[in-house]
Amino acid sequence: MLTRAREITDALGSRLKVGVEAQSFGAAVILERPDLRGCPRASLDGYGIEVLWGFIMAARLAGAHRLADECTDGSCMTRLRLNREPRPAIAIIQAKLERPFEIPATFWDQLYAELGLVTAHLRALARPVEVRAA
């Protein structure tokens, strides 16, 4: 069940949904592209979200230079890759996905801001229930 969801729309009308969801291992962030056929979806744990957050900025600063892949382990093992062609996009590569989940550059600025908020929500969900209820 999603405990928080926001939808980002870029200047081209494309949509990216960012949701926080309780999981057996804690909490995860669910990224969805509701505007694409099949509604592609990827999930990242807190570690993966923090790495994606930094990777977005690194991709912006890399300019035309190459950027090494970043990998995470744990409950949502992920590889992040910067693709330049046919258009700049960050690819989220996970074994459970049929194909990489792509985040076009048109979403990066808004997603970067959203991930800052999401990280706080993930930390809150990770706290013991007694602390959250107080």
- Residue 53 belongs to a domain: yes
Q: Higher pLDDT residue, 29 or 125?
A: 29
- Residue 58 belongs to a domain: yes
Quote the pLDDT of residue 134: 53
Distance CA 90, CA 98 (A): 16
- Residue 1's pLDDT band, with cuts at 50, 70 and 90, is low
- Residue 121's pLDDT band, with cuts at 50, 70 and 90, is confident
- Residue 65 belongs to a domain: yes
Distance CA 65, CA 52 (A): 18
CATH of the domain at 76: 3.30.2450.30
- Which pLDDT tens digit goes with each residue over 78-88? 999 999 988 99
The strands making up 70-72's β-sheet, listed across from edge to edge, are 70-72, 78-83, 89-93, 101-104
- Which pLDDT tens digit goes with each residue over 85-118? 889 999 999 999 989 999 999 999 999 999 998 8
Distance CA 110, CA 126 (A): 25
Total number of domains constituting the chain: 1
- Residue 79 belongs to a domain: yes
- Residue 134 belongs to a domain: no
Neighbour tally for 92: CB within 10 Å: 23
Average pLDDT, the chain: 88
- Residue 48 belongs to a domain: yes
- Residue 131's pLDDT band, with cuts at 50, 70 and 90, is low
Quote the pLDDT of residue 130: 46
- Residue 78 belongs to a domain: yes
**pTM of full prediction above 0.85:** yes
> Domain range for residue 84?
2-129
- Residue 74 belongs to a domain: yes
- Which pLDDT tens digit goes with each residue over 17-70? 999 887 776 788 999 999 999 899 999 998 999 999 999 999 999 988 899 999
